[in-house]
Amino acid sequence: MLVTDTVVKQIAAKDSVTVAPSMIDTTINTERQQLGIKNDSDWQSYLSQRGITESQLRKSMASDPRMLVQALTDYYKSKTQVTLQDVNNQNVQVNLCEVFVPVGKFAFAPPTAPSLSDSQAKAKITGFYNKVKAGSSCRAIAGANPLQKGIIANNGVTGFQPEYPLSPSPLDPGTAFDNAVHATKVNDVTPVTPTTGILKGYAFAKVLGRKTVVPKGWNAAAAKQQLVSARANQQLEQDVQNATSTAKVEVMDVTLKPYYDMFQIAQVEHQMMQGGASNAPVPSAAQITAIQNQMAIDFAAALKAKPSDPVAAYMVAQDIQQNKLNAKGVTPQQRTAYLQQLVTLYNTVLNSTEDRDVRFALADTYRQQKDFANANSQYELIAKFMGQSPPNTPQLDQQYITYYQRLASAFSAIGKPDEAAEMQKQIAAIQKQIPADQARQAAIEKQQAAEQAAQQGGNQVSLPPGGSTTSTVVPPAPASKGKPASTKP
């Protein structure tokens, strides 16, 4: 956060953006309302207890990155130009048949999917494109294309989706593809375009249909403000991301350096998720691995400098568990040492916070050491804490069943059949209460939906008795003169 906060301050200074006194007034008034402080003297007394004057508070708020983000957002809104066509485009929906060929192998590709080079992918997509342009069925080609399985279902057909979404999906093929769709008439085919972000490769689409659907109660002025806000926020986020990615940071404190590594990884993950929308280059697997390896080294150094740091202890334990304990070539002596180190690390974490998964990890480590007495003590603690805070929602019911199943298995493994049987009783009791918890959850959701509908009632269109309203569906523009190249969807 330190890097991001610094970047926000730099952008604000460059654009001469400051936090307006009125914004500070509003924030202070909101805090006073939340605290129930109406009297000015009580407010001053409250500040005195915090060891700060109102002048100091206002000065701090004026440089607070969160306040500066609000001010920058307002500034970006003032610079954002939106036309009436942009607003109306928010109601346009398009139905596509997409054909996609990835470069390399994406994270959730089927195991049997081949990995293509850039030139191979381009040649493959060009072959598909030429067939569709010549009159072959786009659906048939997309459905038979193994390279896009797991990405675009239903034989490549997307169904009607917003053509100009406020917030592009992380799986969006990118600006070049979107612009090609915008410029293509119904029943025509877009040119092949490169895709960016998570799904890096090449794609084209046949536009199967386009329509304009105006929602009930739609208001052009409100829609314009929503679009302005969305574009301003996206531009600010992109500017902050670009400045952050190029920032030169040197961390001198060894105990802080691994947290900067974590920040870098978070930036990479964000970049990968937003790559389709921003066209930002996606880091290579080697670059990501290098950062992760450096983080492991830095957390080990941080723990050495401060052995009581629970976060560093947890991260070092994760590295041992995932990358060292069962690595190829580890000797029995090294494995024994790793297990003992894990015991120390997990205890360090639990000395500062209670975490069920960490306690399970500690108990399981004792079990691997064949220290069944200590393993049993930890499993009993887990069961005790779970009993003190029983589940009361369907989601918690399922979580607790999983944990009790794990405990039953663990108790059986260390020769505690009575305790294992007790865990099975707990599972049966939770399973019995699930219907009641589901009914209660449904009632809560029903009440929340009713309250939300009541709150939105003021935005609905009022009609006279017997009146009615419908969504407006505008047919697509007529195709240009001349016979289209293909009429098969």
Q: What domain range includes position 136?
A: 92-211
> Do residue 198 and residue 109 come from a single domain?
yes
Determine the straight-line distance between the first and last CA of the chain, rounded to whole angstroms.
Answer: 49
> Do residue 105 and residue 169 come from a single domain?
yes
Quick check: 180 and 189 in contact, CB under 8 A? no
Q: What is the reported pLDDT for 250?
A: 63
> Do residue 67 and residue 105 come from a single domain?
no
Quick check: 356 and 391 in contact, CB under 8 A? no
Q: What is the reported pLDDT for 111?
A: 65
Q: What are phi and psi of 203, to 5 degrees?
A: -155, 160
* Phi-psi domain of 154 (left: phi exceeds 0; alpha: psi -120 through 50; beta: other): left
Residue 163 belongs to domain with CATH number: 3.10.50.40
Residue 118 belongs to a domain: yes
Residue 384 belongs to a domain: no
Q: What is the reported pLDDT for 169?
A: 72
Residue after which a domain boundary falls, among 261, 278, 306: 306
Dist CA 306 CA 254 (whole Å): 10
Residue 485 belongs to a domain: no
Residue 261 belongs to a domain: yes
Residue 285 belongs to a domain: yes
Q: What is the reported pLDDT for 55?
A: 92
> Do residue 205 and residue 106 come from a single domain?
yes
> Do residue 40 and residue 116 come from a single domain?
no
pTM: predicted TM-score of the whole model, two decimal places? 0.52
Q: What is the reported pLDDT for 252?
A: 64
Residue 163 belongs to a domain: yes
Q: What is the reported pLDDT for 412?
A: 96
Please state, in angstroms and as integers, the Cα–Cα distance from residue 282 to each residue in 36, 119, 274, 288, following that order: 49, 19, 9, 10
Considering just the CA atoms, what is the radius of gyration of the chain in Å? 29
Q: What is the reported pLDDT for 251?
A: 63
Dist CA 295 CA 22 (whole Å): 43
Q: What is the pLDDT along the chain (489 residues), one digit of tens a residue?
A: 567 788 888 899 999 999 999 999 999 998 888 888 889 999 999 899 888 899 999 999 998 988 999 999 999 999 999 999 999 999 999 999 999 998 886 655 666 677 888 999 999 999 999 999 999 999 999 988 887 776 777 888 999 999 998 877 766 788 899 999 999 999 999 999 998 867 789 999 999 999 999 988 899 999 999 999 999 998 998 888 788 766 665 666 677 777 777 777 776 666 655 544 444 455 666 777 888 888 899 889 999 999 999 989 999 999 999 999 999 999 999 999 999 999 999 999 999 888 999 999 999 999 999 999 999 999 999 999 999 889 989 999 999 999 999 999 999 999 999 999 999 999 999 999 999 999 998 988 888 888 777 655 444 333 333 333 333 333 333 333 333 334 346
Quick check: 216 and 460 in contact, CB under 8 A? yes
| Neighbouring C-beta atoms of residue 231, cutoff 10 Å | 18
Residue 402 belongs to a domain: no
Dist CA 371 CA 381 (whole Å): 16
- Tally of structural domains, the chain: 3
Q: What is the reported pLDDT for 460?
A: 39
Residue after which a domain boundary falls, among 79, 106, 134: 79
Which amino acid makes up residue 211? K
Residue 313 belongs to a domain: no
Quick check: 180 and 99 in contact, CB under 8 A? no
